[in-house]
Amino acid sequence: MPLDTSRRGFIAATIASSLAALPRWVQAGAAHVDDSATTLWYDQPAGPWIEALPVGSGRLGAMVFGRPAQERLQFNIDTLYGGGPYVQDNPKFREALPQVRALIDQQRWKEANDLVSDSLMGRPIKQMPFSGAGDLLLDFPGLEEPQRYSRSLDLDRAVAVTSFFSGRARHTREVFCSVPDQVTVIRLTAEGEGRIDLDLGYRHPDYQPYGGFGDTKYDAHGVVFVGAPWDHREPLFTEKRPAALSVRADGRDALLVEGRNVQAFGIPGQLRYALRVQAVGDGHIEADGDRLRVRGARRLTLVVAGETSYVNYQDVSGDPVAAVRQRTAAAARKPFASLQDAHLKAHRALFRRLQIDLGGHEANARPTAARIAGIARQQPDAALAATYVQYARYLLLSSSRPGSQPANLQGVWNEVLHPPWEGKYTININTEMNYWPAGPANLGECVEPLLKMVEDLAVTGARTARDSYGAGGWVAHHNTDLWRSTAPIDGPLWGMWPTGGAWLCTTLWQYYLYDPSPALLRRLLPLFKGASQFFLDTLIEDPKGRGLVTSPSISPENSHHPDIALCAGPAMDRQILRDLFDATRQVQAAVGDSDTAFSERLRKTRERLPADRVGAQGQLQEWLEDWDAGAPEQQHRHVSHLYAVYPSGQINVRDTPELAEAARVTLNRRGDESTGWATAWRLALWTRLGDGERAYKILQGLLGPARTYPNMFDAHPPFQIDGNFGGAAAILEMVVQSWGGEIHLLAALPRAWPRGRLHGVRAHGGVEVDIDWADGRLARVRLRGRAGQRVALRHLGRRVDVQLDARGQGRADPAAFAGGD
């Protein structure tokens, strides 16, 4: 949405003035910057992986380094995981379960811990890793020293661009991942007197001598990562690759890579995978052994396809070689313009639904890495927050599309064979956080892969429920992987949490609230009923008469006594189950499910869940017992018991002010600084509590170099993508929130954003909102939804109801809120 012409002229003049002060070769890279905040740009190539730029189609991911003489493109395939189909459930579980519960009731913690480790944890105790698919290295012999270099990521086009001059030639390289054609497209052009000479080869991720992100160490409190390769520069292309790998010519103008996935934690690697590169251009192209050579080209297009033999979590019989040959051959027959047009149409149909402008556009004239570094020096940069939102939307579109796997801990981008935390799905916060922005950011289609995964887990989790707990329904614990394992893993401090599947269900319920449809309700019904059935069968009476509780469980990853997390009935479990039972009953009612006895049983069981409690220090209790003050980690990264504040909304400033105040006490005790994703959750919580200034302070920490890498990936550290998604959702909530049957406008707007607009943000009920503000005051509100739909708006403590017209449109007069708080 364009700005008014007077503002556009002022911004253009400001950017032009800033550019004039830059060196000429930097100006060339910055010239494309505009006021849309949809461009990341840099004045030098990437060094380590965390400086490279991501492209993706959901199924395929690539990292683009932008190196002139030897470009590196690191690839991923969403189904390239270690191992193969396996069953992880511990056969001792069911017999040991009553004894574990008794030991917890008696607070015999060490004995309970030891028994859980031996008899309840899955075998193997780890799940399978998401693995890198290796690098394409593009060597360009004869290039002169590059001048006027720039590289950028255009979020609106979903294209990574590298541009520089070499001698009298201008070289431009564009890379994108096409959803319609399911290939990565690399377009190289040389203008002027230059030509493209290229030697292309493949390098397996085994080559990395530095071991990925650093050293991994384990201690009593979890995993510690030491070091990050900030100053690393990779060696030039080497011949090293595993004997199991085959790289060979596949025709005159194509290269084929075939390999197998890794054995992991004793599970044999059963997947085959393939990458194929096909070249089309006006120069001389030939495949020579395990190289692809091009000489004398002005225009060259490389199409790359990647596939594994994965069919589903039980079937690895696919033919990846046939798949990549078909895709590259089909794409190579199309003109580059056709490939590009189809890609842009598919991307922009979703990306352009939302526009955000928070001001501060003059900062766009500085390289993105410098802007991130500037946050640490207290340099205001409102536009960077807007870019952060659009970047997260871009990442979700690039890592989670219908037909792909869901976004995992690293989205779809990982350079090593065995990434931190195996790069899989941590469903005690991280996977759910990945999808927090999907609804409000107007990207509901991106949730389909998550829904498909939950449908799989309802099958594998039914086996775990039956064999381990003797229960009906289905269950998933705190992690899962490509093979849809549902057993508890990692150890009792992290894994003995039976509510992961339930939280996934409430995440899907939020998806429905933002994008309601009868077809979705019909898919949700069996999932929700199955998840609820498990807890109807497994909740037990608290020995102190406080109600029905989960046991054994934990408050995710936090210890209440040194090295002890095991407990019964933690606050988060009770909060999630309230939402699950409520959502299940609503779905039943909406689809006309005749099982009224089940609905009534859910209602009665919900009433017997212990209520949230306020402890002696005025905090919201994390456990049934008031253990918070004595817990070993007072600033623990997880704030699990604040699920009820965000994303749930059970606790809020309007309806439960006392509990909201207790949540503030808890947040103050935990502190504002934490890991990347935990910082994003704190940001979302203070935002939901309506404290825009506290939220803004935390946001600055999230945007700065301690928590954002130069390529804007979230720094846990190391990289985890959930912080990007959680942070973006929270920024949107600072402007528009949707809970309690109302849309809350400018609910946590900080003073640093006095003027701005947010158009196309989505709210509950499928309502789209366009909102503008000036001088910190509401200026315009437009609504789109169903014809005749009634929409409740709240601002400054006043509620205004708007009925949409026959076209499904409506407006709210800002003056109607005058005189509020």
Res 94 pLDDT > 50: yes
Q: How many CB atoms lie within 10 A of CB 595?
A: 11
| Residue 536, beta-bridge partner list | none
Q: State residue 36's pLDDT score.
A: 57
Return the DSSP state at 441: T
Res 18 pLDDT > 80: no
Confidence of residue 242 (pLDDT cuts 50, 70, 90): low
- For residue 22, what are its two tokens? 């830059």
The answer to whether 364 touches 37, Cβ cutoff 8 Å, is yes
Residue range 780-801, pLDDT digits in tens: 999 999 999 999 999 999 999 9
Own/partner long-range contacts of 461-466 (Cβ < 8 Å, ≥24 apart)? 461/486, 461/501, 461/530, 461/534, 462/530, 463/87, 463/89, 464/89, 465/534, 465/537
Q: State residue 244's pLDDT score.
A: 74
Res 602 pLDDT > 50: yes
Q: Which of the two residues, 208 and 669, has the higher pLDDT score?
A: 669
Q: How many CB atoms lie within 10 A of CB 246?
A: 13
Q: Which of 456, 526, 532, 460 is nearest to 499 (CA)?
A: 532
Residue range 133-142, pLDDT digits in tens: 999 999 999 8
Helices (H), 85-199: 93-105, 109-119
The sign of the torsion formed by the CA atoms of 758, 761, 763, 765 equals positive
Average pLDDT of the residues in 451-455: 98
Residue range 472-497, pLDDT digits in tens: 999 999 999 999 999 999 999 999 99
Q: How many CB atoms lie within 10 A of CB 124?
A: 17
- For residue 654, what are its two tokens? 């309007």
Return the DSSP state at 1: -
* H or E element that contains 183: strand 183-192
- Weakest mean pLDDT among 13-22, 353-362, 432-441, 780-789: 13-22
- For residue 370, what are its two tokens? 């410098």
Q: Which of 306, 29, 1 is nearest to 161 (CA)?
A: 29
pTM for this predicted structure:
0.93
| Residue 359, beta-bridge partner list | none
Average pLDDT of the residues in 62-67: 97
* Residue listed under structure tokens 């730029």: 53
In whole numbers, what is the pLDDT of the chain averaged over residues? 91
Nearest-Å Rg of the Cα atoms of the chain is 27
50 SS3 class: helix
Average pLDDT of the residues in 58-66: 98
* Residue listed under structure tokens 């050579």: 293
Q: State residue 10's pLDDT score.
A: 27
Burial 162-191 (b: 16+ CB within 10 A, else e): bbbbbeebbbebbbbbbbebbbbbbbbbbe
Residue range 162-215, pLDDT digits in tens: 999 999 999 999 999 999 999 999 999 999 988 999 999 999 887 554 333 333
The answer to whether 60 touches 177, Cβ cutoff 8 Å, is yes
The answer to whether 368 touches 29, Cβ cutoff 8 Å, is no
The answer to whether 65 touches 46, Cβ cutoff 8 Å, is yes
Q: State residue 207's pLDDT score.
A: 57
Res 20 pLDDT > 70: no
Average pLDDT of the residues in 639-655: 97
Cβ neighbours for 23, distance < 8 A, ≥ 6 positions apart: none
The answer to whether 278 touches 294, Cβ cutoff 8 Å, is no
**83 torsion bin: left (phi>0), alpha (psi -120 to 50), beta (else):** left
Q: Which of 245, 228, 235 is nearest to 209 (CA)?
A: 235
Helices (H), 120-213: none
Query: What are φ and ψ of residue 460, in 5° steps?
Result: -65, -35
Give the strand pairing for 135-139 and 70-77: antiparallel
Residues in the chain: 821
Give the strand pairing for 790-795 and 742-745: parallel
Can you tell me the distance from the alpha carbon of 772 to that of 357, in angstroms, rounded to the nearest whole number? 9
Q: How many CB atoms lie within 10 A of CB 531?
A: 31
Q: State residue 380's pLDDT score.
A: 87
Res 8 pLDDT > 60: no
Give the strand pairing for 147-154 and 736-739: unpaired
Residue range 276-309, pLDDT digits in tens: 999 999 999 999 889 999 999 999 999 999 999 9
Res 238 pLDDT > 80: no
Can you tell me the distance from the alpha carbon of 44 to that of 152, in angstroms, rounded to the nearest whole number? 10
- Weakest mean pLDDT among 76-85, 168-177, 227-236, 791-800: 227-236
Confidence of residue 2 (pLDDT cuts 50, 70, 90): very low
- For residue 146, what are its two tokens? 């590059």
The sign of the torsion formed by the CA atoms of 42, 44, 50, 52 equals positive
Find the farthest-apart pair of alpha carbons in the chain and give their distance in angstroms, rounded.
84
Q: State residue 529's pLDDT score.
A: 98
Q: State residue 819's pLDDT score.
A: 73
Can you tell me the distance from the alpha carbon of 575 to that of 11, in angstroms, rounded to the nearest whole number? 47
| Residue 297, beta-bridge partner list | 196
Can you tell me the distance from the alpha carbon of 746 to that of 732, in angstroms, rounded to the nearest whole number? 10
Residue range 710-723, pLDDT digits in tens: 999 999 999 999 99
- For residue 291, what are its two tokens? 């190289």
In terms of average pLDDT, the best of 9-23, 201-215, 258-272 is 258-272
Can you tell me the distance from the alpha carbon of 446 to that of 57, in angstroms, rounded to the nearest whole number? 11
Res 551 pLDDT > 50: yes
Q: State residue 206's pLDDT score.
A: 77
Q: State residue 751's pLDDT score.
A: 97
The answer to whether 640 touches 555, Cβ cutoff 8 Å, is yes
* Residue listed under structure tokens 């890495």: 369
The answer to whether 273 touches 80, Cβ cutoff 8 Å, is yes
Burial 276-295 (b: 16+ CB within 10 A, else e): bbbbbbebebebeebbbbbe
Return the DSSP state at 612: P
- For residue 820, what are its two tokens? 């509020």
Q: Write down all domains in the chain, each with its CATH number in brackets.
A: 1-35 (no CATH), 38-81+130-214+224-352 (2.70.98.50), 93-123+418-611 (1.50.10.10), 366-399+697-821 (no CATH)
Can you tell me the distance from the alpha carbon of 153 to that of 56, in angstroms, rounded to the nearest whole number? 12
62 SS3 class: strand
Strand runs (DSSP E) across 511-662, as ranges?
540-541, 548-549
Can you tell me the distance from the alpha carbon of 737 to that of 689, in angstroms, rounded to the nearest whole number? 11
DSSP string, 262-326: PPBTTBPP--EEEEEEEEEESSEEEEETTEEEEEEESEEEEEEEEEES-SBTTB----HHHHHHH
Can you tell me the distance from the alpha carbon of 697 to that of 683, in angstroms, rounded to the nearest whole number? 9
Return the DSSP state at 52: S
The sign of the torsion formed by the CA atoms of 227, 67, 183, 324 equals negative
Can you tell me the distance from the alpha carbon of 797 to that of 818, in angstroms, rounded to the nearest whole number? 10
* H or E element that contains 528: helix 518-538
Can you tell me the distance from the alpha carbon of 437 to that of 582, in angstroms, rounded to the nearest whole number? 22
Strand runs (DSSP E) across 179-271, as ranges?
183-192, 196-203, 215-219, 222-226, 246-249, 254-260
| Residue 302, beta-bridge partner list | 186, 279
Confidence of residue 34 (pLDDT cuts 50, 70, 90): very low
Residue range 610-638, pLDDT digits in tens: 999 999 999 999 999 999 999 999 999 99
Confidence of residue 26 (pLDDT cuts 50, 70, 90): very low
Cβ neighbours for 114, distance < 8 A, ≥ 6 positions apart: none
351 SS3 class: helix
Q: How many CB atoms lie within 10 A of CB 240?
A: 12
185 SS3 class: strand
